[in-house]
Amino acid sequence: MYFIQTPFWLRLIYRSCIWRKPNQDRVLYLSFDDGPHSEATPFVLGQLSNFDAKASFFCIGKNVQLHPEIYDAILAAGHVVGNHTQNHMNGWKNNTENYIADIQEATKVINSNLFRPPYGRISFSQIKALRLHPALPQQIVMWDVLSGDFDTTITGEQSAQNVIQHAGPGSIVVFHDSAKAMDRLRIALPKVLAHFSKLGYQFKAL
């Protein structure tokens, strides 16, 4: 089970995290989790370039080590990167010490003040511990709209509609540049970019 649009009560509980950007202008903040990936990330970069769009890539440290040239291509294209832990670690299933150590390991290859917890799962004690380490990323970025592209039970068209029906000015939208999401991403991302471009939206990095 997952929420396409993050409910108000969840944003209230984790109020110290960033869920959307207060913006009255037609701006969307597309973000991509779990890369870099040898196939998905170059596809994403190509689609973004087609629409003169900027985005934010929350990268896994071990994937950056596997594909440093793709990571460099993200930066060279003017996009923003964020820390997504070294090993895609679930905060709810790991103690605070191990979790912080995994984030710290990822900082060796990811230079960013942005952090997104994998699965959106992080405890209050882990948030507090992160704040106590100023050398680690301090802005915890969640999302307003989840595309669901990781969900193998839906189609790419359904993933696109998840975003089209729920995103608006200031929304932070999550896609995944991963092998698992690729079948849906290939369909959903171009549709989302085209739809919101026609409505006069800009796509900016966080």
Active site residue 151: no
Per annotation, catalytic residue among 33, 34, 144, 177: 33
Give the containing element (helix H, strand E) for 172.
strand 172-176
Alpha helices (H) in the chain, listed in sequence order: 8-13, 40-50, 61-66, 68-76, 96-106, 124-131, 156-166, 182-198
Per annotation, catalytic residue among 37, 79, 84, 176: 176
Angle at Cα 17 formed by Cα 61 and Cα 176, nearest 5°?
45
Radius of gyration of the chain (CA): 16
Active site residue 34: no
The residues carrying an active-site annotation are: 33, 176
